[in-house]
Structure 1
Amino acid sequence: MISYADRFQFTDSGDMFTKRLITAGLTALLIGTLGACGGSDSSGSASSVSGTDTSTAPTARQTPDTVTGLRDSVRHLTRQTTRATRPHTVTQCGSATKRVRHTSSSGTGTKKKTRTWYTTEQYRKCAKVRSGTETYTRVVRKERWCVSLDDVGGDTGRDDVWYQVTRAAYDDARLADEHARVTFTPTGTGC
């Protein structure tokens, strides 16, 4: 494909600047034309050629994280714990020694001398060691608040779907009437 700039005949190296200038101008014109044809406003909706905005005002709708349906039932699962054992560790400290390197310099230029010597220094060394076992409370099941919905998202085929919710959303659903429309943001699925 021959560009518009290639149709012009240039004879000397001084005209190469003109050729590049024309090519840049045609490229800018092409980009501007394409931008005008496929323009869109900041919300992503296309606008008409006359420049009037054809987008409508944003409507309030639920976010992808929220769930809407008819209240079916609620369930509160209490926290369950059990006693378990694990290794018990203690911190034991003792004295240890390490060799430390020291250097000092004196003089400048060719008369500079560096002296190196080593000393043995003591320090306190600590480590965790196992010392028997200890008992602790292990959580078997965390406390959960759950709500079951029918007609989830308006789909009459999606019934008895359980969601884990916050305590506040659970209280709102518990106080709502049977088959009342409720909307909440679940913290998990299933119960």
Structure 2
Amino acid sequence: MFKRLVTAAVTALLIAGLGACGGGGDVSDEGTDYSVDVDQDNGSVAEEPQPDTATTTDATVYGLRDEVRHLAARTTRATRPHMTRKCTTTTRRVKHTTSTGSGTKRRTRTWYSTEQAKSCKQVRSGTETYTRVVRPERWCVSLDNLHGDATQDDVWYQVSKTTYDAAIGMDRYAHMDFTPTASGC
């Protein structure tokens, strides 16, 4: 457990350090909905609106990391009918006939054979016990100041295990952005 925390902390520090080292190119002003492009040659600034990512369900969300929560899978023992395959073999008598000749010289030969048929079906044979999942395992992260809006606090998102591990390694109220798997927790 300690090794995971150290790995997550080192990863978070590397990400933060690499983000701080990036210079020039696109710089995002988090207080506005504009992307600021700084031209290295003449220092001019060109602004263009960014698309609103809060409306799409698979969009990246960002804010200040508030709380994290791990909900273990909840299971219970249950019983169900145990089904087995039961086959029966049936026989039936089949009549065969052939005819030779014509008119008054016509002869009919008749013989019988036995054919076997196999039919199978699923039948109940007692019960069996199994483990039923009542609630799957979930990892959740809560964000404050969602998308820079100070009125949107304590918004919970379900995230992947790797995002959860990264959130554990971060300080509380550190800037965090991720793509959630579902909303709510």
TM-score class, shorter-chain normalisation, is: 0.5 to 0.7
Is 1:144 matched with 2:129? no
**Once the 2 structures are TM-superposed, how far is the Cα of residue 58 of structure 1 from its aligned partner?**
8.5
- Match of residue 73, structure 1, among 63, 67, 70: 67
Higher RCO (C-alpha under 8 Å, 6+ residues apart): 2
| 1:172 corresponds to | 166
Q: Which residue of 1 aligns with 2:125?
A: 131
One-letter identity of the residue aligned with 1:176: M
1:99 and 1:177, CA in 2 relative to 1: closer, same or farther beyond 3 A?
A: farther
Quick one: structure 1 residues 167 and 62, their matched pair in 2 at CA, closer, same or farther if it must change by over 3 Å? farther
Q: TM-score, normalising length from structure 1?
A: 0.54
| Residues 168 and 121 of structure 1: CA distance in aligned 2, closer, same or farther (over 3 Å) | same
Counterpart CA distance in 1 for 2:126 and 2:136 is 29
> 2:178: which partner in 1?
184
**Runs of 5+ unmatched residues, structure 1:** 1-55, 101-118
Number of aligned positions between the proteins: 118
5+ residue gaps, structure 2, are: 1-45, 95-112
User: How far apart are 1:99 and its partner, in Å?
Assistant: 10
Of residues 70, 84, 87, the one that matches 2:78 is 84
Percent of paired sites with the same residue = 58
TM-score, normalised via structure 2 length: 0.56
CA pair 57-159 structure 1, distance change in 2 beyond 3 A? closer
Q: Distance in 2 between matches of 1:74 and 1:151?
A: 16
Q: CA RMSD in A?
A: 2.9
- Shift in CA distance, 61/182, structure 1 to aligned 2, threshold 3 Å: farther
Measured against aligned partners, the alpha-carbon deviations of 1:10-31 in whole angstroms (never above 9, x if no partner) come to: xxxxxxxxxxxxxxxxxxxxxx
Tell me how far apart the structure 2 counterparts of residues 148 and 97 of structure 1 sit (CA, whole Å). 70
From the superposition, tell whether residues 122 and 57 of structure 1 become closer, same or farther in structure 2 (CA, over 3 Å). farther
**Structure ranking higher in strand proportion:** 2
Q: Which has the larger radius of gyration?
A: 1
Q: Which amino acid aligns with 2:175?
A: R
Query: Aligned pair in 2 of structure 1 residues 174, 60: CA closer, same or farther (>3 Å)?
Result: farther
Alpha-carbon separation, structure 2, partners of 1:98 and 1:159: 77
Query: For 1:143 and 1:77, how far apart are their aligned partners in 2?
Result: 6
Give the letter for the 2:83 counterpart. Answer: T
What is the identity, as a one-letter code, of the residue corresponding to 1:159?
D
* Matched AA of 1:134: E
Structure-1 residue corresponding to 2:153: 159
